[in-house]
Structure 1
Amino acid sequence: MSGTQADSTAALAGFVRRVRWYRNRLRAMSAGEVAHRVREMARRQVSARRLPSSVTAFDPGDMALPEWPGLAEGVGGLAAGTRLMTQWAAHVEAVRAGRFRFLGIDWPEAASPGEPPDWHLDPATGRRWPPDAWCFDIPYRHETDFGDVKNVWELSRLQYLQPVAAYAVVAEDDAAARLCLDHLSAWIDANPPYRGVNWPSMIELAFRVVSIIVIVTLLKARIDAALRRKIMRALYQHGWWIDRFPSRFSSANNHLVAEAAALCLLGSLAPDLPGARRWRTQGRRSLEREVLNQIAPDGVGREQSPAYAALTLEWLLLAGDLGRRTGEPFSGDYWRRIARAGEFLKWITDSTGGQPRIGDDDDSRVIGNGMASEDTINSVLGCIASACGESALAPPVPTAHLRNALFPAPVPDRLWPAGMRHFAEGGYTVDRRNRTGGVPDHLLVFDHGPVGYLSIAAHGHADTLALWLHVDGRPVLIDAGTYLYHAGHAWRDHFRGTVAHNTLTIAGENSSEISGPFNWARKAGARVLALDDDPERWSVTADHDGYLETHRVRHQRRVERTGAGRFRLTDSLTGAPGDHRVEIGFLVSPHFRVEASGTGFVIRDEKATALSIRHDGPLSGWVETGRTAPERGWHSPGFGVRAPAPRIVFAGELTTGTPVVFGLSVGEGQP
């Protein structure tokens, strides 16, 4: 095939993907949202033709830079944390040397020390996103010639400059301060409004607003008049754009919280900017509403992703803390709901500070410690304990972080909830136990909730009735993870799909039908049929309708605690009589090995047995690792990373009404 033919084929494929995406997106929209999208499209077209000079050439005059109350003093107080300072010092040297690594991908090293990175370079392919194109004309969702757009966005969040600024002020390092400000100035110069790939997503602007405010708060004394005007102009252009294109309707998830928080922060800290008063007022109003919308009364994040719950909570914490510091506190309901979210996160936190990676997890955070993946959930949980004055919410393992400049690190709480807790609104049952009688501590989570939030459930997975298990603070039965977003294509579908999760699938089909990287054509609806909340011998029976339309049956799963460290899982199909080809999978952490044992398997490492699984039913069992066509036995330990992992699978013909029973035994005991 010639180059021209290949280009034509790629262009056609891209066009087909765009058409399919718009079709599927429309299916998820209400009539009101369709009208909103039409108006939004009109605003985009008007903006492309004519932007007000009051925005593009905004003159801030002598307007003061924003200053985050308490941040500089808090950063100074972190100086005693030598480990954190050592980490920041190494980070500064990496930035100075031009060594950038985000999401598992290395950027080309800078030609000379201190040189800013190429803000439009896709490090996965070496291609450059068009820097001068109108931002809404760049089809970043459908491109096949580039890697995931999240790569270039991650760099342009400018979060890597936050610890550079913190180190500069604590170490009194003028060279580090200049390095930070040079990079900030270079970003503004290379990204004129509203050109290039760094402008079409409002949540990316929200992240950048916070980064800029952190930087200028810490380095205010080193910013001259010319740079001050440049920064204030850029902040106004960010705020104006976020305000002009808000996330609404099916997009009103964590994006809406981020945008509202950014406008609230910017409006509060830069009150002389045009529109600042309205930004502050509307941002606060949105946050007061969304904390109740996006966090269930029992504390579960509605997006069905602990990582995204932590991200949403970080935005809420930052805005709420600023309100306290400026004499405009948020309501009691606001803080109570945040505290309830902390309770849920504490319940699903194991003895070493880890959580099941349910739903999407892309390493997003608002305040950053560097370029590497971070233990964000643990850190945010500590911030909740600090902000809400509830020491019992403190995580078991301390995580030193730049966030502690605003939220002093609480004393680690080595005591955690024990027993069984049923989160009815959020849709999880959690069992966690301390080490006792030779049985190691363990955490089990059972999912009987919705797929995700709003009509598109963007960050949920087809994991209905899945379970996760940690033993001795180590993940054993794991979630497959996320891997990639827009650039993932078939792999994105796999990692969201049912076969990648610890549940049952019929004929290899997903319990919820995928229709794009952040959309669903059909979502499984789960319901709890029976609950016995006896803390010692509890049981939960739930089912879902994900296969009702295609196979005329429901998947029913009963999970029960039968003794110390022992559980029984019973899977069955209810509905129309018939035989169905099923798989029931258990994805195992690659840090363990899996060995056949009788009618089941034993999961162990070089030291001890973590879990034994016994099977009683008509299915055959085996282990598969790193299989392709079809994909089986993979996990993603971090965004952009894919690796094999052993998957225990039981498969065969299952007749409606026939139970499949699994005995699970934690530690050395027999199930």
Structure 2
Amino acid sequence: MVKNALRGIAADLRALGGSAPLRAAYEASKRTGFHAVLFRAETRRHHPAAPVALTNLLPLGDEARQRCLDDAGRVLHDGLRVFGGRVTTGVSTPWCTDPLTGRQWPAGEPWWRIDIRSEARLSDVKHIWEAARHRDLVVLSRAARLDTDGPWQDGLNDLLRSWCDECPPEQGVNWYSSLELALRAIAWNQILTLVGERLPHDVASAMDRLLLASARHLMVELPYTVSSMRNNHMLGDALGLILLSRMYPTAPRARWWARTGERMFATQQRRHFGPDGRMIEDSVSYHRFVLEMLTVRMLLGGAPSSVRRDLRAASLHLARLGVFDGDVPQYGDWDEGRVLASSGDPLDVSGSTALGLALCGERLPARWYAEFDELAWYAPAPDTTVDEVTWSLPARSSATTSGGIAVVDRGPWRVWFKVDGGASHGHADLTSVWITHNGRWLIADPGTGTYNGPLEVRNGLRTSAAHPVRRPDGQDQLVPHRAFRWLHAGRGHLGPPLDLPDRTILFGWHDAYERGERPVRVGRAVVVADEYVAIVEFADPQAAVGSWSLTVPLHPDVAVRNDTLVAGESKLHLFGLDGHEAVRGRSAPFAGWHSRTYGRWEPATWITAESRDDTVVWGLGTVAGPRPEPDALDGLGFEVTWSDSGASLAVTHLASGTVHHVRAPR
């Protein structure tokens, strides 16, 4: 047991890196009681808020108005929206009520004494935090602004008053995370903007007290943030400080909050974004989350030009992935995290993308302002004096690339090839291939499941065994450590698409297995034709491993009949995976599941296969063929040349001898 404990400490130190001493001091403060000194309550004079206009007072369009009123009715009648459902937390039960168990988190206990991580914890804290972000209270404020005679204002007053009474500063689980305080401040600022003059005096005064306490908490928590949260948390905490300095400009420390927030935001922004729109957040959900943080920074005013630059690039990245054309793979962690309030589909990311484009000066179709709450409530009104406009990406071939991901549209197929990843909230999914046929999912990312729930579920959905990637000797690409960290890193390298008259070919490779006793590099070519999608597997050096494992996670709506996949009216033939097995809804070991949103999972078929061959060709087709052979497929030959500087794929047309090269440098 001692040896395991030491091994765990060593892994923690390796995962934390140079920030380990600061994190250790922080943890010591919690355990010795010094946190009680750091977070002692202050009795300074309260300052009335001067809310910043982040939201429109009225929506742009009647559709958004009706969506808001309908949603507000559900808030009062059914409860707050949490991960695809409605909960009574705060509405008819105390704010400390856990939606999963119905039990209550300690209400009068300092937050640092509450266990949210060990096996002895009450529940998954994400569920109560989601309710406590108060985006639904923004919806009620909008409804109260739209319909002054409705029940919305009274319902809002009751919710705010109960919150302020039940959640005093630094008490209870809802004060545990600085990011939650920052997000709640953004929501409360909108509430004050929309209906501040109609709030009872005692409620408004209590809100001021808690908001000022939130600013102090954000400052005191900086050692934890900078040592352990160099991702969206640092951006969110910084954004909270910037906003609170604007809301309370006469507070004694307001300038300090502003300087600290701006410096933190700029520092994290430099490490967070790439020029092609990618982020260190290797997740569609968290890409949207941070995109909305950039949006709020723009709406606050006075943003550096780099914020607009990164907002535009990050929005275009999602557009290139196809968010305006339908569903996209739910890769990486997904938890419906939002900064903005919307009464639309919580799984949609196109509205936030559209808002980012609008704030960067793009002219968008008028119907988008009716369709997306993000535009209706946060965007400047479009110029109605000009003719109707359309918006699309610049003309391209059947394939496009963005942020280490290639997307192909050819015939009935849409294919995503994710070669690279990021350091935060990503899964072990380098070189994953996801496929739709006639708009229906076939091979789909399995989703997230949970962060703080059973570890077998958490790791069962984020490791390589849950993704359509090859695994030498059954290894994981990254190897999980605790709920969020990885013991190893890997980088993927994607070449430019090869667009032939009858096929589109993608090529990429990764170095995640360049470790251990038998290091190997793994590459893939993805061939998309009108009749099939095929994957050609490569390894360097060949015969470096004993066997290869592969999982092909299918969407829950796909049925499997021998070698045929059935999705709606489509029937696709699986080829090249002789002797494969299918698993669906297995608990031990956890396999054969799909999670559409956080905290939920349902059975789905995973196809698993084993092989001792370094080169394998497999895929899906509308007909029984093509017959794959090693290094060849449907009249094309494939050969990879490996070097220290990267890899190059040679595609040879066997009949004519014509050779095309696709290079993917390191």
Please classify the TM superposition score into its range, dividing by the shorter chain length: 0.7 to 0.9
What letter is aligned with 2:349?
Answer: I
The answer to whether structure 1 residue 57 and structure 2 residue 26 are counterparts is: no
2:256 maps to: 278
Which whole-Å CA distance do the structure 2 matches of 1:392 and 1:96 have between them? 34
Partner of 2:244: 266
**Matching residue of 2:589:** 630
Query: What does residue range 351-362 of structure 1 map to in structure 2 within 5 Å?
Result: 352-362=325-335
| Residue identity opposite 1:430 in structure 2 | V
Mapped to 2, the partners of 1:565 and 1:287 lie a distance apart of 49
Report the Cα distance in structure 2 between the residues aligned to 1:396 and 1:472, rounded to whole angstroms: 24
In 2, the alpha carbon distance for the partners of 1:397 and 1:81 equals: 10
- The yes-or-no answer on 1:608 pairing with 2:567 is no
Residues 376, 283 of structure 1: alpha-carbon distance in 2 compared, 3 angstrom cutoff: farther
Q: Give the drift of 1:652.
A: 2.6
- Give, in whole Å, the separation in 2 of the partners of 1:52 and 1:500: 42
Query: Residues 195 and 277 of structure 1: is their aligned pair in 2 closer, same or farther, counting only changes over 3 Å?
Result: same
Q: CA deviation at 1:645?
A: 1.2
Spell out, residue by residue over 1:397-439, the C-alpha distance to the aligned partner (whole angstroms, 9 max, x if none): 9743156322158789574564366657x32222235xxxxx2
- Who is 2:653 aligned against? none
What is the aligned partner in structure 2 of residue 92 from structure 1? Answer: 72
Q: Is the 8 A contact 2:52 2:193 kept in 1?
A: yes
Distance 1:367 1:18 in 2: 42
1:233-272 mapped onto 2 (5 Å cutoff): 233-246=209-222, 247-272=225-250
Q: Is the 8 A contact 2:239 2:261 kept in 1?
A: yes
CA contact (8 A) 1:429 1:447 kept: yes
**Alpha-carbon distance, 1:43 to partner:** 5.7
Preserved CA contact (<8 Å) 2:39 2:170: no
Tell me what 1:447 maps to.
418
The structure-2 alpha-carbon separation of the partners of 1:58 and 1:21, relative to structure 1 and needing over 3 Å to count, comes to farther
**RMSD of aligned residue pairs (Cα, Å):** 3.3
In the other structure, the counterpart of 1:374 is 346
The within-5 A match list for 1:73-152 is 74-78=56-60, 80-82=61-63, 84-97=64-77, 99-104=79-84, 107=87, 116-152=92-128
Kindly tell me: are residues 220 and 505 of structure 1, through their superposed partners in 2, closer, same or farther at Cα, counting changes over 3 Å?
same
Give distance in 2, aligned partners of 1:69 and 1:126. 37
Query: Does the aligned pair in 1 maintain the 2:525–2:536 contact within 8 Å?
Result: yes
**Is 2:146 the counterpart of 1:170?**
yes
If the length of structure 1 is used for normalisation, what is the TM-score?
Answer: 0.83
Say yes or no: does 1:28 pair with 2:1. no
Instruction: Describe the shift of the 1:281–1:590 C-alpha distance in structure 2 as closer, same or farther (beyond 3 A).
Output: same
Q: Cα deviations across residues 590-646 of structure 1 (Å, max 9, x unaligned)? A: 22323334xxx34431x334x54421x7x4224332223222221001111110112
Aligned residue among 539, 550, 553 for 1:584? 550
Query: What is the CA-CA distance between 1:67 and the residue it aligns to?
Result: 2.1
Does structure 2 conserve the Cα–Cα contact (< 8 Å) formed by 1:163 and 1:402? no
TM (norm. structure 2) is 0.84
- Residues 404 and 159 of structure 1: CA distance in aligned 2, closer, same or farther (over 3 Å): same
**Does the aligned pair in 1 maintain the 2:521–2:539 contact within 8 Å?**
yes
Q: Distance in 1 between matches of 2:369 and 2:52?
A: 28
Matching of residue 654 in structure 1 with residue 617 in structure 2? no
2:644 paired residue number: none
Shift of residue 460, structure 1, vs aligned partner: 0.9
- Give CA deviations for 1:468-491 in whole Å, capped at 9, x if unaligned: 123444433211101111123110
Partner deviation per Cα, 1:375-417 (whole Å, 9 max, x = no partner): 3411111101210122479998974315632215878957456
The 1:473–1:206 alpha-carbon spacing in structure 2 relative to 1, beyond 3 Å, is: farther
1:342 and 1:508 map into 2 onto residues whose CA distance is 37
Distance in 1 of aligned mates of 2:397 and 2:5 = 49
Does 2:173 correspond to 1:197? Answer: yes
Pick closer, same or farther for the CA change 1:404–1:558 going to 2, 3 Å.
same
* Contact 1:420 1:535 survives alignment (8 Å): no
Letter in 1 for 2:417: F
Greater shift, 261-270 or 233-242, is seen at 261-270
How far 1:548 sits from its partner (Å)?
4.3
Partner in structure 2 of residue 293 of structure 1: 271
Q: How does 1:201-600 map to 2 (within 5 A)?
A: 201-246=177-222, 247-323=225-301, 328=302, 330-349=303-322, 352-370=325-343, 374-391=346-363, 399-401=371-373, 404-408=376-380, 413=390, 415-416=392-393, 418-419=396-397, 423=401, 426-433=403-410, 439-440=411-412, 442-450=413-421, 452-453=422-423, 457=424, 459-528=425-494, 531=496, 533-534=498-499, 539-550=505-516, 552-554=518-520, 556-561=522-527, 563-564=529-530, 566-575=532-541, 577=543, 580-597=546-563
2: distance between equivalents of 1:317 and 1:494? 34
* Cα distance per residue 1:509-528 (max 9 Å; x no partner): 42211111101122334345
CA displacement 1:228-260 (0-9 Å, x = unmatched): 221111100011111221321442100011111
Secondary structure at the aligned position of 2:290 is classed as: helix
Change (3 A) 1:50 1:281: closer
Could you tell me whether the CA contact under 8 Å between 2:399 and 2:497 is conserved in 1? no
The CA distance in 2 between the partners of 1:234 and 1:162, in whole Å, is 17
Is the partner of 2:452 in helix, strand or coil?
coil
Mapped to 1, the partners of 2:469 and 2:399 lie a distance apart of: 21
Between the aligned residues of both structures, percent identity stands at 24
Structure 2 letter corresponding to 1:237: A
8 Å CA contact retained: 1:119, 1:187: yes
SS in 2 for 1:502: coil
Q: Is the 8 A contact 2:491 2:511 kept in 1?
A: yes
